[in-house]
Amino acid sequence: MSNKKLSDTIKYLKKKKKVLFITTSNRWVKSKDIPKSSILAHFIADQLENVKIIDVTKLNIYPCEGNNSEASGNSCGIKEAVLKDKVKNPSGYLRCWASINNKDDELWKVSKELLESDAVVFFGSVRWGQMNSYYQKLIERLNWIQSMWTTHKDKNIVKNIDSGLICIGQNWNEVNVIKTQKQVLGYFGFKTPKELFWSWQYTHNIGDESNESYKKAFDKFMNDFNIDKNIYPLKLKKIK
């Protein structure tokens, strides 16, 4: 099953001119361990052309300020919130107050590439039944994309961009996570092809919290996708 999902994803993305992969799972900065979702992102990218990978855990991205739910209404995505910087915002579509209020914010490194791509796939881990906090923070900071056209009746700037999410879990709720986030990205205005939404979970025994289970998960993951652990994650460590 995992190999079928993988092959369908690769086949679909090979038709795209420019693809963006966004990894969202983290480790301690000095750890030599590589998240499984990041390994998978690089493994897939190596079988495609014109793929750029951004690790958002390495970027300085501030939390969403909640400007879409102020007492005065939704000011998220309005023209007054545009980041006036031709390098960081060449399209002129980055309209996020947090990018203006925090001069060292690096959301622009994501939005610039995203708006120049015709497919974006997020990779990350399921933690306590939901996508990890880096993914959630990023999605909230991209809220201006949705507000622009749904609230302010402006242009849907992502209507021609395919989106996807591939998540990795241990023992709980990954299927529901995919279902929910597919809806979220659809609400944003992205296209949501089924080939780009799927998950891998080590076990469906929610009560299995043994250390042995966590240790076995890595080898099973690598075997399920036929990833050579003599190449990965050593290759990623060299990239870092």
Residue 228 CA to residue 231 CA, distance in Å, equals 6
Q: Residue 169 sits in a domain of what CATH number?
A: 3.40.50.360
Judge contact between 65 and 101, C-beta under 8 A: yes
Q: Is the pLDDT of residue 73 over 70?
A: yes
Given pLDDT bands bounded at 50, 70 and 90, which one contains residue 240? low
Residue 31 CA to residue 191 CA, distance in Å, equals 36
Give the rounded distance of the alpha carbon of 1 from its chain centre.
22
Q: What integer pLDDT is reported at residue 7 of this predicted model? A: 96
Quickly list H helices, the chain.
2-13, 36-45, 97-101, 108-115, 133-141, 143-150, 174-188, 211-224, 234-239
Residues 6+ positions from 89 with CB-CB distance below 8 Å: 82, 83, 108, 111, 112
pTM of the predicted protein model:
0.96
201 three-class SS: strand
Instruction: Give me the number of domains the chain comprises.
Output: 1
161-211 per-position pLDDT tens digit: 999 999 999 999 999 999 999 999 999 999 999 999 999 999 999 999 999
Q: What is the mean pLDDT of residues 109-123?
A: 98
Given pLDDT bands bounded at 50, 70 and 90, which one contains residue 113? very high
Residues 6+ positions from 84 with CB-CB distance below 8 Å: none
What's the Cα-to-Cα distance from 56 to each of 59, 107, 124, rounded to whole Å?
5, 9, 11
Looking at the chain, the whole-number percentage of residues with pLDDT higher than 90 is: 93
For 45, the domain range is: 2-239
Q: Is the pLDDT of residue 151 over 70?
A: yes
* 184-220 as b/e: b if 16+ CB within 10 A: bbeebbbbbbeebbbbbbbeeeeeeeeeeeeeebbee
The pair of structure tokens assigned to 218 is 């890595």
119 three-class SS: strand
Given pLDDT bands bounded at 50, 70 and 90, which one contains residue 23? very high
214-239 per-position pLDDT tens digit: 999 999 999 999 999 888 876 776 65
Nearest to 113 by CA among 18, 223, 6: 18
Judge contact between 214 and 32, C-beta under 8 A: no
CA 23, 24, 28, 34 torsion-angle sign: negative
Mean pLDDT of the chain: 95
